[in-house]
Structure 1
């Protein structure tokens, strides 16, 4: 826990219990992150991705930010609207997304590839029309690219806001270049591999984004998200508003966020920055650390950027 570990230790147990309550380990079918020895998975310990995805606060806030962004794409939103039970189990959807990102990042190669194939099979069955009657398919390469970009840009923003390390341009570019391999394996195309390419892509897509009635309904459900944790309402509001603080100005404008909304986001962001070291000190035995040991490296490598990403 570092130089101040003795000061942080009393909070470690409650924080671990909080996280395991919100994101419990599956009782069956759990991925074996400890074997086989030496298997680096899709990225490995020399990747930027292993470091970015190891930061709980940045990833949770970033994931919530991504949900805001994903509600703005009419066809991407229609797939969720028509083919998921998000109205009754938004927590379950959030957990499944978390499990997929964690698995494709840290799981042994075969398990990660099976997760990708499983999602591809699901996407092949998801068809319909959006609110305006435009047909969609979940395996449409363009939709897959939007979902990926909304997530990775948000995770990167989350790490920059709440993570332990500054993110130089070369690291941000390496992260986007690395993570696009999962999107491409799912069927995405023209996936941005640098910050400049990501900015250009978003500028291209923005005219097609809409804040509609379905967007409003989904965000209302998100605002009532009920995690099974102590102080559930406070926990939700801190992370949800801290996630909203990561939204770019154009998204705030499109979502019609008020000055009060923006003020809540700033306050939550400041609060999460103060809390983040407690989470890092408490969460030292997650899948990132276990995966480091699987490939025979000290988990301490996650505390510094690779020298040649």
Structure 2
């Protein structure tokens, strides 16, 4: 019997990359980056419950990503189908033009996808994860599967590091810091303390718990990991020294996370996927002849 290894499998770059606990930092970076797209952040502000239930939304987003990474093919397709149905039912108003638009417009889905996978990859690399150029491009190419499941034509999605760089260069004139973007960035930097502390993953609890400055350090690192042009839109500096400081901090966070016990460094879903594969590869047990 052959195990269903899902969209990627244990030999993929995606599994190699996402076994790193520091990937949560890449997720935070992607949110800061996504907030610079006026339509995308308006869609979030007008439809998301992140202000009233930020940690619930974070957990749901995390569950979706982990399901696509480590779930069976059927589980990944079902999760993506639910997400597509939700997106298809939602719309928002462009605060600059008053135009009403669907939030599942390909341009918006593409922006969210690219910023997410690029943030995961760039954060991991700058935190010290070693990848060859072929593995870097391989990660972008593998993630076309998740882009397709969310409703995008893979042919329209950047699939190499060079194509991602070209995509950012082309879209930069559309980016700006709006009121929604500024409020979202402030919320990400100084979030409310969750009331249900015990319901959060330990890695998040450690970063958000007392002392509060620990999370501020993580947020500032995520901002420092943004491309220089993105930091300048936020009113910050694009100095190389900022990049160096952010990379140094990311390496420190990665080292801290690596020191945690195994059960806190590896998601339960990944362990279940590995066990599923192990069972399928095990030799069949000898049958006991009946008497």
Question: How high is the TM-score relative to the length of structure 1?
Answer: 0.77
Flag structure 2 segments of 5+ consecutive residues without an equivalent: 198-204, 280-291
Aligned to 1:95: 59
Higher Rg: 2
Alpha-carbon distance in 2 for matches of 1:269, 1:283: 24
Which residue of the other structure, out of 16, 32, 35, is the alignment partner of 1:51? 16
Alpha-carbon distance in 2 for matches of 1:248, 1:271: 16
Q: Would you say how many aligned residue pairs link Structure 1 and Structure 2?
A: 258
1:252 aligns with 2:231: yes
What is the RMSD computed on CA atoms of the aligned residues? Answer: 2.3
Which residue of the other structure, out of 133, 139, 149, is the alignment partner of 1:169? 133
Which residue of the other structure, out of 251, 258, 275, is the alignment partner of 1:273? 251
Alpha-carbon distance in 1 for matches of 2:216, 2:276: 36
Aligned to 1:307: none
Alpha-carbon distance in 2 for matches of 1:150, 1:268: 18
User: Following TM superposition, where does structure 1 have runs of at least 4 consecutive aligned residues deviating by more than 6 angstroms?
Assistant: none
Aligned to 1:156: 121
CA contact (8 A) 1:123 1:139 kept: yes
Counting only pairs closer than 5 Å after superposition, residues 141-290 of structure 1 correspond to structure 2 as 141-163=106-128, 165-189=129-153, 190-225=156-191, 226=193, 228=197, 229=205, 230-231=209-210, 233-257=212-236, 269-282=247-260, 284-285=262-263, 286=267, 287-290=269-272
CA contact (8 A) 2:224 2:231 kept: no
Flag structure 1 segments of 5+ consecutive residues without an equivalent: 1-35, 298-309
Of structures 1 and 2, the one with the larger relative CO (CA 8 A, separation 6+) is 1
Q: Post-superposition shift, 1:243?
A: 1.2
CA contact (8 A) 1:60 1:239 kept: no
Q: Post-superposition shift, 1:89?
A: 2.2
Counting only pairs closer than 5 Å after superposition, residues 27-46 of structure 1 correspond to structure 2 as 38-46=3-11
